[in-house]
Amino acid sequence: MAEQNFKNLLKDIISTLNPRTREIIEKRFGLSSSRGQTLEAIGKQFGITRERVRQIESEGLKQLSRDTITAKLEPVFQLVGNHLKACGGIRREDVLLKELGSILLPEEKKSENAVNFVLALGKKRLVYFEGNDNLHPAWSHSAGVCKDVVELASAIKKYIASSNKLLSHDSMINALKLEAAKMANLNPEPASLASYLSLSRHISKNPFGEWGLTQSPEVSPRGVKDKAYLVLKREQNPLHFRQVCDLINKISFGTRKAHPQTVHNELIKDSRFVLVGRGTYALRDWGYEPGTVKDVMVNVLKKAGGALSKEEIIKQVLSRRMVKENTILLNLQNRKTFKRLDNEKFVLA
């Protein structure tokens, strides 16, 4: 449908209302402004109560929802229905408003408001899902789809929680596909599955495209320390704190810029990170140990439970810290801490 035709259609429909009702409807849906107004704000302008504004709005929408009027919108409802079908039968409300707005009124800033108004008149043809603690509000062409999506979201949330790890996009889609196949009203196509996934309030993806529970710091990093953890986990190698800072700023974590000293301070304070070289940090999960080189060497010998050769000590220390071999050899000369046996192996003194 051409943009001008859609505008003329809306104008024609709303002109059937009396002037006051028309103005209240326009203000509520933001048809003549950038955003809709509250019942209270409109009530103050007209000198009436919030409840009276609600009644006038309801009466106006009821009048506009008559078959003789909505029949004029049939081409629009067909477009909406086809769009929903392509999305698996349901679409998150805010996403749908943007998508349809760009189709019907690509040049208008308030296009989403106009789409929202049209959808409000189509409740005989469409199903509005109000949303809940688990799912965002959405529009659908079937109550059965809404019911199945509620079950799907619950099943996937449990699956992610039990797996206790982030999922790649392909792994997430495969998991969704297996669950969706159990439900009669859902479409197992990737585009539809992605649409179902976007409805969840508890499942999100991080800047690397990995999916997990929204509350996880690996999905929704809270502050510099979580961002640093994600960067190191992604790189799988120890990094200097300035490199960590650069990567945080390079990746889409938001508009707030990280500063080297702030990053360094967080790496020092957080027990998930271990200093393994001059200004260089690794994740403790990788097996690196905190403390001086001597401390690491002591732990190596303690865990060994017996004597180790110079080469064995060097190998194990290097797997835990980024140091030069000479540094390890110099520490082995500390007779107060290490004792060399006749067979050239070392034990704790």
Q: How far apart are CA 328 and CA 348, in angstroms?
A: 14
Q: In this prediction, what percent of the chain has a pLDDT beyond 90?
A: 65
In the block, tokens 């209270």 appear at 40
Nearest residue to 185 via CA among 89, 80, 93: 89
Residue 252 — very low, low, confident or very high, per pLDDT cuts 50/70/90? confident
pLDDT at 1 over 70: no
144: Cα within 13 Å, side-chain hemisphere: 7
At 94-105, the pLDDT tens digits run: 999 999 999 998
**Are the C-beta atoms of 156 and 176 separated by less than 8 Å?**
yes
Q: At what angle do helices 143-163 and 169-180 cross, to 10 degrees?
A: 130
- pLDDT at site 18: 95
The tally of domains found in the chain comes to 4
Give a yes or no: residue 155 inside a domain: yes
Residue 137 lies in a domain: no
In a domain, 133, yes or no: no
Other beta carbons within 10 Å of 62: 10
Of 213, 232, 260, the last residue of a domain is 213
Structure tokens at 98: 């943007």
Residues 11 and 83 in one domain: yes
CA angle 162, 212, 135 (to 5 degrees): 95
Joined together, the tokens standing for residue 209 give 């495209």
| One domain for residues 44 and 66 | yes
Report field, pTM of the whole predicted structure over 0.85? no
Q: What digits encode the pLDDT tens for the residues 255-274?
A: 789 999 999 999 999 999 99
> Which residues lie closer than 8 Å to 248 by C-beta, 6 or more apart?
224, 227, 228, 231, 258, 263
